[in-house]
């Protein structure tokens, strides 16, 4: 690949993206306005790459690191890149300013992709000279373990830019999807939110403990969903596919939908009670340890899936 990638912001997401591109052989310029953040990023990256190598998910960590150039000068960093992954603050004004600086630093055809999870790209690119090369490429954290990337064009984005972005993501072993129009929360968080809203209501109304709700997903729903989507799952769960399934179970799901909603499942009271049950399961002092466990489990799951091949 001839692609060179610029990553703007050396925080958690920017560093993770740097790993995604560099492990696929792509030269990366990792830019941050803060020199100290850059130095810290180098150490953090070395640590993450060693973990990935220990899990057998990458080969030579030093070689991957050598593809990442650390840059504190935006113009110099972005001089020769054809794709930028912007990982700046989740703040509309800050993004509008960053994009003006970016446009001045890159060629007119360089793709400017934002990692934003919450702001439609049209809102911070409509003032540019070339908004047609801007879009969202929203990762899940950390993208080097969870491959999904939501590619979301603005009304201005050209199809060619969308295509180049989808192909680049596939080339670096991510799993991109196309979100055809801008929508709040994109796809992943809307699905997660729909399930969480119902989960919180069931918990709040005393039907189930927090631990049992988690068991319902990890020992039930989540197993198939880790290798099939929800549509394929129901397609295979009725003798004649999705239409047959809808005839059998649609009325139940529609009824459940109708009797809920309106009230706010995210009220402080509910969250405080949920927190009490969670802290009983996992004391606050052990959160970091459990996050490390989660990452090990994710790495083991990805290694397991790779061993099975892409069927």
C-beta closer to a copy of itself: residue 35 or 212 = 212
1 binds a copy of itself (CB under 8 A): no
Least separation in angstroms between CB 216 and a copy of itself: 5
Residue 79's CB: how many other CB atoms inside 10 A? 15
Binding of a copy of itself by 12 (CB under 8 A): no
Q: Which residues in the 59-98 window bind a copy of itself by CB under 8 A?
A: none
Q: Does 20 bind a copy of itself (CB under 8 A)?
A: no
In the chain, DSSP assigns E strands to 5-8, 28-31, 68-71, 83-86, 111-114, 134-139, 148-153, 175-178
CA separation, residue 131 to residues 36, 109, 152, 254 (Å): 32, 10, 13, 41
Residues 143-182 that bind a copy of itself (CB under 8 A): 145-148, 150, 175, 177-181
Instruction: Identify the sign of the CA torsion 14, 12, 24, 118.
Output: negative
Q: Which is nearer to a copy of itself, 63 or 207 (CB)?
A: 207
Residues 179-218 as x/- pattern, contact with a copy of itself by CB under 8 A = xxx-xxx-xxxxxxxxxxxxx--xx--xxxxx-xxxxxxx
* Binding of a copy of itself by 227 (CB under 8 A): yes
Size of the site for a copy of itself (CB under 8 A): 106
| Dihedral (Cα; 31, 33, 37, 39), 10-degree rounding | 60
SS3 188: helix
Q: Is 141 in the site for a copy of itself (CB under 8 A)?
A: yes
Closest CA to 31 of 137, 91, 105: 105
Binding mask 252-291 for a copy of itself (x = CB under 8 A): xxxxxxx-xxx-xxx-x--xx-xx--xx-xx-x--x--xx
Q: Which residues within the stretch 101-140 sit at the binding site for a copy of itself (CB under 8 A)? A: 118, 140
Q: What is the dihedral of CA 51, 72, 10, 189, to 10 degrees?
A: -140
Residue matched to tokens 């005393």: 206
Is the CB of 159 or the CB of 219 nearer to a copy of itself? 219
Q: How far is the CB of 95 from a copy of itself (least distance, A)?
A: 17
> Rule CB under 8 A: is residue 225 a binding residue for a copy of itself?
yes
């Amino acid at each position: 690949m001839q692609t060179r990638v610029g990553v703007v912001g050396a925080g958690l997401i920017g560093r993770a993206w740097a790993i995604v591109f560099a492990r696929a052989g792509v030269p990366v310029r990792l830019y941050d306005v803060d020199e100290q953040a850059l130095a810290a990023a180098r150490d953090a990256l070395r640590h993450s790459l060693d973990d990935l190598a220990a899990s057998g998910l990458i080969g030579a960590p030093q070689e991957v690191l050598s593809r990442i150039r650390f840059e504190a000068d935006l113009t110099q960093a972005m001089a020769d890149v054809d794709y930028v992954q912007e990982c700046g603050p989740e703040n509309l004004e800050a993004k509008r300013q960053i994009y003006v600086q970016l446009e001045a630093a890159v060629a007119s055809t360089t793709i400017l992709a934002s990692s934003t999870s919450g702001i439609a790209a049209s809102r911070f690119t409509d003032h540019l000279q070339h908004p047609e090369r801007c879009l969202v490429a929203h990762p899940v954290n950390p993208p080097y373990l969870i491959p999904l990337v939501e590619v979301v064009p603005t009304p201005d984005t050209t199809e060619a830019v969308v295509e180049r972005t989808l192909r680049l993501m596939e080339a670096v072993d991510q799993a991109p999807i196309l979100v055809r129009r801008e929508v709040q929360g994109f796809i992943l968080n809307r699905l997660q939110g729909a399930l969480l809203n119902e989960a919180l209501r069931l918990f709040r109304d005393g039907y189930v403990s927090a631990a049992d709700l988690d068991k319902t997903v990890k020992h039930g729903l989540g197993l198939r969903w880790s290798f099939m989507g929800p549509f394929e799952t129901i397609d295979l769960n009725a003798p004649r596919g999705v239409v047959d399934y809808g005839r059998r179970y649609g009325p139940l799901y529609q009824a459940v939908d109708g009797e809920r909603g309106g009230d706010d499942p995210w009220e402080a009271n509910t969250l405080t009670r949920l927190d009490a049950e969670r802290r009983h399961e996992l004391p606050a002092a052990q959160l970091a340890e459990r996050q490390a466990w989660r990452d090990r489990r994710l790495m083991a799951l990805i290694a397991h899936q790779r061993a099975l091949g892409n069927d």
